[in-house]
């Protein structure tokens, strides 16, 4: 079996808020100086789900795929160090500035070109926009069944079983392969590679494909093909006003608060 794990490189979530800057002229985040981007934590968990199946089955190959620039190789190498077999970077200026749809379009086309993929594993959302749309977009474009927000994934006899996290409990669904699954943090922590695994992954060659390799028209991907247009990206201004309610007793203060709330038409 051949699995694909989708991996996205994101700004380090541990970055201090004061280090973030927004370029409002381009609606983009300015990278924090001296702080390297990291693999999205949810994608690391998706990789863990695929690796657990690989450990329990025979002849499973895992390809980690990332759409990004050259720096995204670091995210690919991290999943390779965890135990994935091959890496694929989708790098093209035409892919920049895209939305969830164009991202899913590029990734699904890469999966089709790989040709023998049995399942695609994605993180529940990416650790930046938190939309959780790409996994389902890949499934829709490929015409494959999908399970989302899974805390456990099993593959047996050509079928995928996923235990999904619901608002009021859990639900187990089963579907035929090929399929797409998005994995939630309830699966558990991803493994930490050992030094030897990290060194071995660093020596692996990552294949790179662009729009021409995927036979994609640049007008249909990236910013040109986006269906969602970002009007403005900014850091909200924090602030507020405090007013102390006078009164000889708690009852008087409460009555004064109620009067203020009614004046503001909150009550």
d(CA 8, CA 243): 46
Question: Per-residue pLDDT for 175 more than 90?
Answer: yes
Whether a cis peptide bond, with omega within 30° of 0, leads into 178 is: yes
Averaged pLDDT of the chain: 91
Tokens 């187990």 sit on residue: 172
Length of the chain: 267
Question: Per-residue pLDDT for 130 more than 80?
Answer: no
Question: Per-residue pLDDT for 249 more than 70?
Answer: yes
Question: Per-residue pLDDT for 127 more than 70?
Answer: no
d(CA 47, CA 40): 11
Q: Which helix (H) or strand (E) holds 138?
A: helix 134-142
- Give the confidence band of 36 by pLDDT, cuts at 50, 70, 90: confident
What pLDDT is stored for residue 241 in this prediction?
A: 79
Lowest mean pLDDT among 8-22, 139-153, 157-171, 187-201: 8-22
Token duo for residue 143 = 């015409």
Mean pLDDT for the stretch of residues 241-253: 87
Question: Mean pLDDT highest for which of 23-37, 101-115, 122-136?
Answer: 101-115
What pLDDT is stored for residue 265 in this prediction?
A: 87
- Give the confidence band of 200 by pLDDT, cuts at 50, 70, 90: very high
């Amino acid at each position: 079996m051949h699995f694909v794990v989708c991996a996205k490189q994101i700004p380090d979530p541990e970055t201090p808020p004061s280090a973030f800057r927004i370029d409002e002229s381009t609606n983009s985040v300015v990278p924090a100086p001296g702080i390297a981007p990291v693999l999205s934590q949810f994608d690391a968990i998706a990789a863990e789900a695929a690796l657990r199946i690989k450990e329990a089955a025979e002849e499973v190959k895992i390809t980690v795929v990332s759409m990004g620039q050259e720096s995204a190789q670091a995210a690919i190498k991290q999943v390779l160090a965890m135990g994935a077999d091959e890496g694929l970077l989708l790098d093209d200026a035409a892919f920049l500035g895209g939305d969830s749809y164009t991202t899913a379009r590029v990734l699904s086309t890469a999966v089709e070109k790989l040709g023998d993929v049995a399942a695609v594993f994605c993180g529940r959302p990416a650790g930046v926009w938190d939309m959780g749309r790409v996994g389902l977009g890949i499934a829709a474009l490929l015409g494959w069944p999908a399970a989302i927000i899974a805390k456990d994934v099993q593959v047996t006899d050509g079928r995928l079983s996923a235990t999904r996290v619901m608002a009021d409990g859990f639900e187990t669904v089963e579907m035929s392969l090929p399929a797409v699954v998005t994995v939630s943090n309830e699966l558990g922590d991803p493994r930490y590679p050992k030094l030897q695994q990290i060194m071995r992954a660093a020596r692996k060659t990552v294949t790179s494909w662009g729009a021409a390799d995927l036979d994609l028209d640049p007008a249909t991907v990236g910013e040109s093909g986006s269906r969602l247009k970002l009007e403005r990206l900014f850091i909200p201004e924090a602030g507020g006003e405090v007013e102390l309610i006078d009164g000889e007793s708690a009852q008087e203060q409460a009555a004064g608060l109620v009067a203020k709330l009614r004046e503001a038409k909150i009550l």
